[in-house]
Structure 1
Amino acid sequence: MTPSPQKIESPDTPGGFKVQVRERSGLPNSQIGTALIQAAFRPSKNGDPTTAGPLCRHDAEGGESVAMMELFKGAVGLFKNPSSHRRVTFDDPTEAAEIILLADLLLRLLRKIPPTETSIPGGAP
């Protein structure tokens, strides 16, 4: 017996954490997909914090800031964006669960970043 494809719709999916990124960063709705993630987590240029994205961790080493941005960007690009453009099914329930676990980890990492002055009230705590 073949298991039925898993449909993932939850606040803890890559699409759900993208909403939290927008709320915590205060970026406009015109920023979407991986461009939103890149704008939110953009590392500072030449150590100038005014050039960094609102969710860039200034206490992290430069390479770690880039890695954080790329981790979030990769999750959105690989797991969220395809389902925005076509029907995507997950035939493997374990893989579907692991995607949800990855999204949960990303939400945990996001919640460790202090809110910005532009955070939307009621956004991620």
Structure 2
Amino acid sequence: MLQSLGAEPNFNNLIQGFRQRGGYGDPGPADLAELLCRLSDAWAWLEAHALIGPSAKNPPGEWQRVTSAGAEVLNDPAAVAKVWAAGRLAGDLHPALASARSNFALGDYETASFAAMKAVEVEVRRVAGLPNELLGVALMRKAFSPKDGLLRDPEAEGGEQQATADLFAGAIGAYKNPASHRTVQFDDPMEAAEVIQLADLLLRIVERAENRLRA
């Protein structure tokens, strides 16, 4: 549908146009109602993702245009992945992820992923009260150690405590440490969004640990 609209400088509601095609009184196709419902769903999706929007040439009314984001998708089929990925980050995220979110919006996925995991590292160190010299995986192992880690959940059984330590250490080792040491080719917006979501989960676990320490 977006491709069919791309050449038009502005256009009226496509759904109504389909309904009014043909001569007066001519019987429409038997499946016209179903077709219009499908087109209406697609139209609503394009509007919801800001790929089409109100036209500045013929306001007010139903006149619309392809937005700059819509034009990007038209010119680069891979850009639709950015639309899906951005939808994953549409809700609330932990405040510490503001930098990661900004870099993601700019299309700098490597920096966004690094910033997300750096935020986890910073919060773990702050809440656990550990020194700046303790970094990365070693920091996670110390903070969540089943033996004496300050951020471990004392009510969880030993295997769960170890799994949590492994989760944090693995996330930092896989997504923060490599970008600290070398250039990482990170051009998949969906993967970057999922790294940020993972960081959001880890930060909320740290937040719960901080609440336990305050209690």
Question: TM-score range with shorter-chain normalisation?
Answer: 0.7 to 0.9
Kept after mapping to 1: 8 A contact 2:109/2:189: yes
Kept after mapping to 1: 8 A contact 2:114/2:179: no
Residue from 92, 101, 109 that aligns with 2:205 = 109
Kept after mapping to 2: 8 A contact 1:12/1:103: no
Where 1:13 maps in the other structure, the secondary structure is helix
Give, in whole Å, the separation in 2 of the partners of 1:54 and 1:15.
20
Q: Does 1:93 align with 2:196?
A: no
| Runs of at least 5 residues in structure 2 that lack an aligned partner in the other structure | 1-75, 80-106
- Matching of residues 43-62 of structure 1 within 5 Å: 43-44=146-147, 52-62=148-158
Q: Does 1:40 align with 2:136?
A: no
Specify the alignment match of 1:9 in structure 2.
112
Where 1:102 maps in the other structure, the secondary structure is helix
Partner amino acid, structure 2, of 1:57: D
Specify the alignment match of 1:48 in structure 2.
none
Specify the alignment match of 2:168 in structure 1.
72
For residue 14 of structure 1, report the CA deviation from its aligned partner.
1.1
Give, in whole Å, the separation in 2 of the partners of 1:6 and 1:27.
29
Q: Does 1:20 align with 2:123?
A: yes
Kept after mapping to 2: 8 A contact 1:7/1:90: yes
Following TM superposition, the consecutive aligned residue runs of length 4 or more in structure 1 with deviations greater than 6 angstroms are none
Give, in whole Å, the separation in 1 of the partners of 2:181 and 2:192.
18
For residue 83 of structure 1, report the CA deviation from its aligned partner.
0.4
Q: Does 1:31 align with 2:171?
A: no
Query: Which structure has the highest helix share of the two?
Result: 2
Partner amino acid, structure 1, of 2:116: T
With the length of structure 1 as denominator, give the TM-score of the two structures.
Answer: 0.78
For residue 87 of structure 1, report the CA deviation from its aligned partner.
1.3
Partner amino acid, structure 2, of 1:41: F
**Would you say how many aligned residue pairs link Structure 1 and Structure 2?**
110
Give, in whole Å, the separation in 2 of the partners of 1:29 and 1:70.
21
Identity of aligned residues (%): 45
Specify the alignment match of 1:121 in structure 2.
none
For residue 11 of structure 1, report the CA deviation from its aligned partner.
9.1
- Structure with max Cα Rg: 2
With the length of structure 2 as denominator, give the TM-score of the two structures.
Answer: 0.47
Partner amino acid, structure 2, of 1:78: A
| Runs of at least 5 residues in structure 1 that lack an aligned partner in the other structure | 45-51, 118-125
Aligned-residue RMSD, C-alpha: 2.2
* Post-superposition CA distance 1:14-49 (Å, at most 9, x none): 1111100000000001111100100111112xxxxx
For residue 89 of structure 1, report the CA deviation from its aligned partner.
3.1
Partner amino acid, structure 1, of 2:134: Q
